[in-house]
Amino acid sequence: MKAAVLELADMRATGIAISHDMLESANRASEALGRARPFDITALRPGDRLPDGLDLLAVPGMGCTSVGELDDTLARAADPWSMRILSEAVDSRARVAASCSSVFLLGQTGALDGGRATTSWFLAAELQARYPAITVESDKIMVRHGRNITGGASLAHADVMLAAIEMLTGPDVADLCARYQLIDRRTSQRPYMMLTVLIAEDPDLVNAHDWIVHNLRRPFTIADVADAAGLHSRTLARRLRRAAGLSPQAFVQYIRTDAALTLIRSGTTVEAAAHRVGYADASTLRRAIRRREADRAG
Protein backbone atom coordinates (compact mmCIF):
# COMPACT_ATOMS: atom_id res chain seq x y z
CA MET A 1 0.00 0.00 0.00
CA LYS A 2 1.13 3.53 -0.74
CA ALA A 3 1.32 5.95 2.21
CA ALA A 4 2.36 9.59 1.98
CA VAL A 5 3.11 12.09 4.74
CA LEU A 6 2.16 15.67 3.94
CA GLU A 7 5.05 17.90 5.05
CA LEU A 8 4.25 21.62 5.11
CA ALA A 9 6.46 24.29 6.66
CA ASP A 10 3.93 24.99 9.44
CA MET A 11 3.48 21.36 10.43
CA ARG A 12 5.03 20.24 13.70
CA ALA A 13 8.24 18.24 13.34
CA THR A 14 6.92 15.85 15.99
CA GLY A 15 3.80 15.10 13.94
CA ILE A 16 5.83 14.49 10.80
CA ALA A 17 8.20 12.19 12.69
CA ILE A 18 5.29 10.35 14.35
CA SER A 19 3.73 9.71 10.93
CA HIS A 20 6.88 8.15 9.54
CA ASP A 21 7.70 6.27 12.76
CA MET A 22 4.23 4.73 13.05
CA LEU A 23 4.18 3.61 9.43
CA GLU A 24 7.65 2.10 9.72
CA SER A 25 6.60 0.46 13.00
CA ALA A 26 3.69 -1.13 11.13
CA ASN A 27 6.12 -2.46 8.55
CA ARG A 28 8.33 -3.98 11.25
CA ALA A 29 5.35 -5.37 13.15
CA SER A 30 4.13 -7.09 10.00
CA GLU A 31 7.56 -8.62 9.47
CA ALA A 32 7.55 -9.83 13.07
CA LEU A 33 4.25 -11.55 12.32
CA GLY A 34 5.75 -13.26 9.29
CA ARG A 35 4.13 -11.00 6.71
CA ALA A 36 5.31 -8.62 4.00
CA ARG A 37 5.90 -4.96 4.80
CA PRO A 38 2.52 -3.30 4.09
CA PHE A 39 3.56 0.32 3.44
CA ASP A 40 5.63 2.06 0.79
CA ILE A 41 6.20 5.42 2.56
CA THR A 42 6.95 8.74 0.85
CA ALA A 43 7.16 12.37 1.94
CA LEU A 44 4.89 14.79 0.09
CA ARG A 45 6.27 18.33 -0.08
CA PRO A 46 5.13 21.49 -1.90
CA GLY A 47 5.37 21.00 -5.63
CA ASP A 48 5.15 17.20 -5.52
CA ARG A 49 2.42 15.25 -7.25
CA LEU A 50 0.03 13.01 -5.37
CA PRO A 51 1.22 9.41 -5.88
CA ASP A 52 -1.02 7.32 -8.10
CA GLY A 53 -3.04 4.73 -6.24
CA LEU A 54 -2.48 6.36 -2.84
CA ASP A 55 -3.98 4.42 0.06
CA LEU A 56 -3.21 6.74 3.00
CA LEU A 57 -2.37 10.43 3.38
CA ALA A 58 -1.08 11.47 6.81
CA VAL A 59 -1.68 15.14 7.63
CA PRO A 60 0.28 16.05 10.79
CA GLY A 61 -0.89 18.84 13.09
CA MET A 62 0.33 22.43 12.91
CA GLY A 63 0.39 23.06 16.65
CA CYS A 64 -1.87 26.14 16.79
CA THR A 65 -2.85 27.10 20.35
CA SER A 66 -5.35 29.91 19.67
CA VAL A 67 -7.86 31.02 17.06
CA GLY A 68 -5.65 33.98 16.11
CA GLU A 69 -2.68 31.70 15.52
CA LEU A 70 -4.95 29.35 13.58
CA ASP A 71 -6.00 32.14 11.20
CA ASP A 72 -2.39 33.13 10.49
CA THR A 73 -1.29 29.52 9.98
CA LEU A 74 -4.18 28.61 7.70
CA ALA A 75 -3.51 31.70 5.60
CA ARG A 76 -0.11 30.21 4.80
CA ALA A 77 -0.89 26.48 4.80
CA ALA A 78 -4.15 26.49 2.84
CA ASP A 79 -2.46 27.51 -0.39
CA PRO A 80 -3.61 26.26 -3.82
CA TRP A 81 -1.11 23.37 -3.90
CA SER A 82 -2.04 22.08 -0.43
CA MET A 83 -5.77 22.28 -1.04
CA ARG A 84 -5.40 20.59 -4.45
CA ILE A 85 -3.40 17.74 -2.92
CA LEU A 86 -5.94 17.24 -0.13
CA SER A 87 -8.87 17.37 -2.56
CA GLU A 88 -7.17 14.90 -4.89
CA ALA A 89 -6.51 12.54 -1.99
CA VAL A 90 -10.16 12.71 -0.93
CA ASP A 91 -11.40 12.24 -4.50
CA SER A 92 -9.06 9.27 -5.00
CA ARG A 93 -10.72 7.62 -1.98
CA ALA A 94 -7.46 7.40 -0.07
CA ARG A 95 -7.81 7.39 3.69
CA VAL A 96 -6.86 10.76 5.17
CA ALA A 97 -5.53 10.95 8.75
CA ALA A 98 -5.39 14.51 10.14
CA SER A 99 -4.90 15.93 13.61
CA CYS A 100 -4.92 19.20 15.55
CA SER A 101 -5.32 22.36 13.43
CA SER A 102 -4.72 20.39 10.22
CA VAL A 103 -8.29 19.09 10.60
CA PHE A 104 -9.30 22.60 9.45
CA LEU A 105 -7.43 22.02 6.19
CA LEU A 106 -9.37 18.81 5.64
CA GLY A 107 -12.57 20.63 6.62
CA GLN A 108 -11.99 23.18 3.85
CA THR A 109 -12.18 20.42 1.25
CA GLY A 110 -15.72 19.54 2.33
CA ALA A 111 -14.62 15.95 2.98
CA LEU A 112 -15.89 16.07 6.57
CA ASP A 113 -19.33 17.53 5.79
CA GLY A 114 -22.12 15.35 7.08
CA GLY A 115 -19.69 13.32 9.17
CA ARG A 116 -18.10 13.29 12.60
CA ALA A 117 -14.69 14.71 13.45
CA THR A 118 -12.56 16.00 16.29
CA THR A 119 -9.63 18.37 16.76
CA SER A 120 -7.69 19.82 19.69
CA TRP A 121 -10.16 20.47 22.51
CA PHE A 122 -9.32 24.19 22.57
CA LEU A 123 -10.13 24.54 18.85
CA ALA A 124 -13.25 22.36 18.75
CA ALA A 125 -15.77 25.19 19.12
CA GLU A 126 -14.08 27.06 16.27
CA LEU A 127 -14.15 23.96 14.03
CA GLN A 128 -17.87 23.59 14.70
CA ALA A 129 -18.52 27.29 14.03
CA ARG A 130 -16.61 27.30 10.74
CA TYR A 131 -17.98 24.03 9.45
CA PRO A 132 -21.51 23.56 10.83
CA ALA A 133 -22.09 20.56 8.54
CA ILE A 134 -19.58 18.59 10.66
CA THR A 135 -20.57 16.97 13.96
CA VAL A 136 -17.60 17.88 16.15
CA GLU A 137 -16.96 15.47 19.03
CA SER A 138 -14.71 17.68 21.14
CA ASP A 139 -14.12 15.18 23.94
CA LYS A 140 -12.77 12.42 21.69
CA ILE A 141 -9.04 11.84 21.19
CA MET A 142 -9.70 10.33 17.77
CA VAL A 143 -12.73 9.94 15.51
CA ARG A 144 -13.10 7.59 12.56
CA HIS A 145 -15.82 8.42 10.07
CA GLY A 146 -15.88 6.84 6.65
CA ARG A 147 -12.41 7.02 5.16
CA ASN A 148 -11.33 9.98 7.30
CA ILE A 149 -9.62 9.87 10.68
CA THR A 150 -9.26 13.02 12.79
CA GLY A 151 -7.57 13.59 16.12
CA GLY A 152 -6.74 16.05 18.87
CA ALA A 153 -3.54 17.99 19.53
CA SER A 154 -0.17 17.21 17.95
CA LEU A 155 0.75 14.14 19.99
CA ALA A 156 -2.71 12.65 19.41
CA HIS A 157 -1.42 12.10 15.88
CA ALA A 158 0.00 8.82 17.20
CA ASP A 159 -3.56 7.70 18.01
CA VAL A 160 -4.70 8.81 14.56
CA MET A 161 -1.92 6.92 12.81
CA LEU A 162 -2.57 3.83 14.90
CA ALA A 163 -6.23 3.92 13.85
CA ALA A 164 -5.21 4.26 10.20
CA ILE A 165 -2.83 1.32 10.52
CA GLU A 166 -5.60 -0.77 12.08
CA MET A 167 -8.00 0.11 9.25
CA LEU A 168 -5.47 -0.87 6.60
CA THR A 169 -3.59 -3.81 8.15
CA GLY A 170 -5.85 -5.21 10.85
CA PRO A 171 -5.93 -5.19 14.67
CA ASP A 172 -3.04 -7.59 15.21
CA VAL A 173 -0.51 -5.35 13.46
CA ALA A 174 -1.94 -2.27 15.18
CA ASP A 175 -1.77 -3.93 18.60
CA LEU A 176 1.86 -4.91 18.06
CA CYS A 177 2.62 -1.34 16.92
CA ALA A 178 1.02 -0.01 20.11
CA ARG A 179 3.20 -2.34 22.16
CA TYR A 180 6.37 -1.35 20.33
CA GLN A 181 5.60 2.36 20.67
CA LEU A 182 4.15 2.19 24.23
CA ILE A 183 0.86 3.76 23.11
CA ASP A 184 -2.17 3.45 25.37
CA ARG A 185 -5.55 3.26 23.66
CA ARG A 186 -6.81 6.60 24.95
CA THR A 187 -10.38 7.64 24.12
CA SER A 188 -11.07 11.02 25.75
CA GLN A 189 -9.55 14.52 25.75
CA ARG A 190 -11.51 15.46 28.88
CA PRO A 191 -8.64 14.94 31.35
CA TYR A 192 -6.63 17.56 29.45
CA MET A 193 -9.26 20.27 29.05
CA MET A 194 -8.85 23.65 30.80
CA LEU A 195 -12.01 25.70 31.29
CA THR A 196 -10.21 29.04 31.27
CA VAL A 197 -8.72 28.26 27.85
CA LEU A 198 -12.10 27.20 26.42
CA ILE A 199 -13.75 30.50 27.36
CA ALA A 200 -10.76 32.79 26.76
CA GLU A 201 -12.12 34.12 23.44
CA ASP A 202 -15.36 35.35 25.07
CA PRO A 203 -14.78 38.28 27.51
CA ASP A 204 -18.30 37.98 28.93
CA LEU A 205 -17.71 34.36 29.89
CA VAL A 206 -14.35 35.31 31.40
CA ASN A 207 -16.17 37.95 33.48
CA ALA A 208 -18.71 35.33 34.56
CA HIS A 209 -15.91 32.95 35.55
CA ASP A 210 -14.05 35.61 37.55
CA TRP A 211 -17.24 36.72 39.31
CA ILE A 212 -17.99 33.14 40.37
CA VAL A 213 -14.43 32.67 41.67
CA HIS A 214 -14.76 35.77 43.84
CA ASN A 215 -18.19 34.80 45.15
CA LEU A 216 -17.79 31.08 45.80
CA ARG A 217 -18.49 31.31 49.54
CA ARG A 218 -21.89 32.97 49.26
CA PRO A 219 -25.09 31.57 47.74
CA PHE A 220 -26.01 32.87 44.28
CA THR A 221 -28.18 31.92 41.31
CA ILE A 222 -27.48 31.48 37.61
CA ALA A 223 -29.36 34.75 37.07
CA ASP A 224 -26.80 36.45 39.34
CA VAL A 225 -23.98 35.04 37.20
CA ALA A 226 -25.66 36.21 34.01
CA ASP A 227 -26.20 39.71 35.46
CA ALA A 228 -22.53 39.91 36.47
CA ALA A 229 -21.54 39.07 32.89
CA GLY A 230 -24.07 41.53 31.43
CA LEU A 231 -25.99 38.73 29.71
CA HIS A 232 -29.47 37.29 29.68
CA SER A 233 -29.59 33.83 31.28
CA ARG A 234 -30.46 32.19 27.96
CA THR A 235 -27.59 33.98 26.22
CA LEU A 236 -25.20 32.83 28.93
CA ALA A 237 -26.40 29.25 28.47
CA ARG A 238 -26.05 29.38 24.69
CA ARG A 239 -22.54 30.86 24.76
CA LEU A 240 -21.33 28.45 27.44
CA ARG A 241 -22.60 25.52 25.42
CA ARG A 242 -20.80 26.77 22.32
CA ALA A 243 -17.49 27.60 24.02
CA ALA A 244 -17.18 24.83 26.60
CA GLY A 245 -20.00 22.35 26.06
CA LEU A 246 -21.35 23.09 29.54
CA SER A 247 -24.65 24.24 31.02
CA PRO A 248 -24.47 27.24 33.42
CA GLN A 249 -25.02 24.86 36.35
CA ALA A 250 -22.18 22.61 35.22
CA PHE A 251 -20.00 25.70 34.66
CA VAL A 252 -20.49 26.76 38.29
CA GLN A 253 -19.91 23.21 39.58
CA TYR A 254 -16.72 22.92 37.51
CA ILE A 255 -15.33 26.12 39.01
CA ARG A 256 -16.32 25.08 42.55
CA THR A 257 -14.70 21.65 42.31
CA ASP A 258 -11.63 23.06 40.58
CA ALA A 259 -11.13 25.51 43.45
CA ALA A 260 -11.77 22.79 46.02
CA LEU A 261 -9.28 20.40 44.43
CA THR A 262 -6.62 23.14 44.40
CA LEU A 263 -7.19 23.73 48.13
CA ILE A 264 -7.12 20.01 48.96
CA ARG A 265 -3.89 19.47 47.02
CA SER A 266 -2.30 22.30 49.01
CA GLY A 267 -3.17 20.61 52.32
CA THR A 268 -6.62 22.01 53.15
CA THR A 269 -9.03 19.44 54.61
CA VAL A 270 -12.05 18.41 52.56
CA GLU A 271 -14.32 19.90 55.22
CA ALA A 272 -12.57 23.29 55.11
CA ALA A 273 -12.40 23.26 51.31
CA ALA A 274 -16.14 22.55 51.08
CA HIS A 275 -16.90 25.57 53.25
CA ARG A 276 -14.58 27.87 51.31
CA VAL A 277 -16.04 27.04 47.88
CA GLY A 278 -19.70 27.11 48.87
CA TYR A 279 -20.69 23.48 49.39
CA ALA A 280 -23.02 22.64 52.25
CA ASP A 281 -20.76 19.93 53.64
CA ALA A 282 -17.81 17.67 52.87
CA SER A 283 -19.99 14.80 51.61
CA THR A 284 -21.54 17.05 48.97
CA LEU A 285 -18.07 18.07 47.82
CA ARG A 286 -16.89 14.46 47.70
CA ARG A 287 -19.86 13.54 45.49
CA ALA A 288 -19.10 16.47 43.19
CA ILE A 289 -15.45 15.41 42.91
CA ARG A 290 -16.45 11.82 42.12
CA ARG A 291 -18.79 13.06 39.38
CA ARG A 292 -16.01 15.28 38.02
CA GLU A 293 -13.50 12.43 37.93
CA ALA A 294 -16.05 10.10 36.30
CA ASP A 295 -16.73 12.74 33.65
CA ARG A 296 -13.00 13.28 33.05
CA ALA A 297 -12.57 9.55 32.54
CA GLY A 298 -15.05 9.81 29.66
Q: Where does the pLDDT of residue 189 fall: very low under 50, low under 70, confident under 90, or very high at 90 and above?
A: confident
> Where in the chain do CATH 3.40.50.880 domains reside?
2-189
Beta bridge partners of 148: 96, 145
Average pLDDT of the segment spanning 21-29: 96
**CATH number for the domain whose boundaries are 2-189:** 3.40.50.880
Q: Where does the pLDDT of residue 155 fall: very low under 50, low under 70, confident under 90, or very high at 90 and above?
A: confident
> Where in the chain do CATH 1.10.10.60 domains reside?
195-296
Q: Where does the pLDDT of residue 165 fall: very low under 50, low under 70, confident under 90, or very high at 90 and above?
A: very high
The pLDDT, as a whole number, for residue 294 is 67
Beta bridge partners of 151: 99, 142
Average pLDDT of the segment spanning 90-113: 95
Distance between CA atoms of residues 25 and 187, nearest Å: 22
Domain 195-296 in CATH: superfamily?
Homeodomain-like (1.10.10.60)
Does the pLDDT value for residue 271 go beyond 60? Answer: yes
The answer to whether 5 touches 19, Cβ cutoff 8 Å, is yes
Does the pLDDT value for residue 297 go beyond 60? Answer: no
Pick the most confident of 43-57, 173-187, 197-211, 258-272.
43-57
Distance between CA atoms of residues 151 and 252, nearest Å: 29
pLDDT in tens, 215-257: 998 889 999 999 999 999 999 999 998 888 889 998 998 899 8
Angle at 267 between CA 258 and CA 209, to 5 degrees: 20
The alpha-helical segments, DSSP class H, found in the chain are 13-32, 67-77, 80-91, 102-108, 124-130, 157-169, 171-181, 195-198, 203-214, 222-229, 233-244, 248-265, 270-277, 282-296
pLDDT in tens, 36-89: 999 999 999 999 999 999 999 999 999 888 888 999 999 999 999 999 999 999
Beta bridge partners of 6: 44
